[in-house]
Structure formats: structure tokens, C-alpha cells
């Protein structure tokens, strides 16, 4: 595992800045902002800034802060955040093709999470995979008439996956609390064969010894359960007012990021049910 952990990418900073700008605008309508042409802020531009969708120019933030009557300290803080929105994501060092576009947002926000809860039905989650297990997963992709991934691309993606894992043992900031529930099928499936799986299960047990990591197994004997329809991840952040919880669900070619409270509540309920039916991996017989 690498010594240095990834830092939150520009996406998380953009989202935090957008929410703070929106709160600062309280009592001021969008029409009023747009009407002050000297600000140079169009309706579309203001929407993108507050939605945290794009890099933001510090001069635009400074102009808005002056218009809203923000204090000098808050103006300094928000313009500093605007500068941070210009940075590249940590994984860019491996090349932009090392990460699917739909997964890039997740990699930006994962290091900023305070808690990560995930249910996996078919495979070990990336934060706990061994390098060889990860290679086997990537090699199995694109079956049939679709071309398999190039070995060089696989190694880049494995490297990104391994670097992600450093957040679990970082010191500053504190590591996230990781709670994983694995369908027993993910442990029984012989990905790469017996040797690879023995190493992978040993990795799960090693991780479960960390004070901030909890790994559980949902036995097949549990029968029908609340999470049968999909795997998912619930991310919670240290400042929920600036960065509310997200439920992440992916497919082989796309991803969904759910932020409505009704969705968060639903998946938290599902996770609670499957966790209650599970046993700690350290008690799982192998």
C-alpha cells in the first residue's frame, strides 16, 4: 500500500464552493445578480458556479462576494477555494484514460468522505482488493466480440485502485470509517483461482483488524434480503451542510449519484438490514 493517500479532487471543492456561494446569496435573487452587468455573471454561469459543475475563476468569486457584502475573511476563503477548483484530480498522473469518465467524480469525492458504507454482491470492493485480484477483474471485462483491455491500461487502472487504498491508513486527515458488507458469493467466487482468493481473503482479514474498518459477510443461508437488486456505496462527509451524503451506484458503462434525502434514507435502511444479517469476516470460516 502506498504511503501517501489521494486527496479530494477538484469536484468536491467545486461542490463546497457552490453551496457556500448559494448560501451567501440568500435574500438576493438570481435576476438581481444578472442585472448587475458589471459583475459579468450570466444566469447560466451563476447556475454552474452554484452547482459546482466547473472550475470557477477567483475574480468571479471575489466580485460576487463584494456584491453580497461578504466579510474580507470569507472572501479570502472562497477565492482560495476557487483557485483549488482549477487543480487536476490526483489520478491524472496515471493518464486521463486510466479512469472511465463516469467514475472520475467518485474518485474525486471518495478521499473526502468521513464514512463509506458499501454492499457488494459479486466482487470485493476496490478499497480492499489485492493487485492480482484487481487484474483478474479487469481481464474478465469486455467478453465475447468486445476487445479485452490492453495490459498497459489494466496496469494503470490497478495502480489507481491500489493508491485509493492509502486513505484507509492515512494519519492527517483522519482515515474514513469503512463498513463493507459482502455477499458470501463474492468470497466463494474463484476469481483468478485458489491462490489469488486465499491472498484476497487474507487481505480482507488484515483490513478488518484496522480500527476504522469493518468487514462483514452476508451468508447465502440468509436467503432473500433487502439489497438483492443492486450493489451500492453510501458516502457521508465531515461537513454535511456543504457536502451532503451521496449514494453511488455503477454499471459497466455508467454511474448514478443520488443525493435526494429520500434516496439516502432508503439505502441507509437497506444497508442496515443486510448488516444485521451478516457476520464479521474475522468469524467467517474458510
Ordered structural domains, the chain, with CATH: 10-84 (1.10.260.40), 96-283 (3.30.870)
What's the rounded mean pLDDT across residues 87-116?
A: 86
What pairs with residue 235 in β-bridges? Answer: 116, 246
Q: In what order do the strands lie in the sheet with 177-183?
A: 255-258, 246-250, 232-236, 115-120, 177-183, 213-218, 279-280
pTM of the predicted model as reported, rounded to 2 decimal places: 0.82
Given a cut of 90, is residue 133 above it in pLDDT? yes
Handedness of CA 236, 102, 138, 218 (dihedral sign): positive
pLDDT of residue 102: 85
pLDDT of residue 202: 97
Taking the C-alpha atoms of residue 286 and residue 188, their distance in angstroms, rounded to an integer, is 10
Rg (CA), the chain: 21
pLDDT of residue 3: 44
Higher-pLDDT residue of 97 and 39 is 39
3-12, 21-30, 151-160, 266-275: which range is least confident on average?
3-12
Given a cut of 60, is residue 2 above it in pLDDT? no
Given a cut of 60, is residue 78 above it in pLDDT? yes
Amino acid at each position: 500500500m502506498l504511503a501517501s493517500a489521494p486527496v479530494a479532487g477538484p469536484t468536491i471543492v467545486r461542490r463546497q464552493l457552490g453551496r457556500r456561494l448559494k448560501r451567501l446569496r440568500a435574500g438576493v435573487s438570481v435576476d438581481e445578480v444578472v442585472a448587475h452587468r458589471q459583475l459579468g455573471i450570466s444566469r447560466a454561469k451563476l447556475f454552474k458556479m452554484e452547482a459546482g459543475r466547473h472550475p470557477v475563476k477567483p475574480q468571479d468569486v471575489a466580485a460576487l462576494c463584494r456584491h453580497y457584502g461578504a466579510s474580507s475573511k470569507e472572501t479570502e476563503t472562497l477565492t482560495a477555494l476557487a483557485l483549488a477548483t482549477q487543480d487536476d484530480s490526483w489520478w491524472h498522473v496515471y493518464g486521463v484514460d486510466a479512469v472511465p469518465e463516469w467514475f472520475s467524480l467518485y474518485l474525486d469525492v471518495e478521499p473526502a468522505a468521513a464514512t463509506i458504507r458499501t454492499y457488494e454482491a459479486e466482487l470485493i470492493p476496490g478499497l480492499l482488493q489485492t493487485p492480482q485480484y484487481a487484474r483478474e477483474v479487469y481481464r474478465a471485462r469486455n467478453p465475447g466480440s468486445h476487445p479485452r483491455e490492453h495490459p498497459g491500461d489494466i496496469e494503470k487502472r490497478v495502480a489507481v485502485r491500489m493508491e485509493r487504498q492509502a486513505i484507509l491508513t492515512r494519519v492527517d486527515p483522519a482515515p474514513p470509517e469503512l463498513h463493507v458488507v459482502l455477499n458470501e458469493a463474492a468470497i466463494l467466487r474463484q476469481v483468478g483461482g485458489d491462490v489469488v482468493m486465499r491472498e484476497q481473503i487474507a487481505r480482507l482479514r488484515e483490513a478488518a483488524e484496522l480500527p476504522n474498518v469493518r468487514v462483514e459477510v452476508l451468508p447465502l443461508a440468509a436467503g432473500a434480503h433487502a439489497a438483492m437488486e443492486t450493489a451500492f456505496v453510501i458516502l457521508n462527509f465531515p461537513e454535511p451542510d456543504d457536502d451532503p451524503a451521496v449514494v453511488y451506484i455503477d454499471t459497466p458503462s455508467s454511474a448514478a449519484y443520488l443525493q435526494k434525502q429520500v434516496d439516502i434514507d432508503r439505502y441507509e435502511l437497506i444497508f442496515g438490514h443486510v448488516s444485521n444479517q451478516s457476520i464479521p469476516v474475522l468469524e467467517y470460516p474458510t
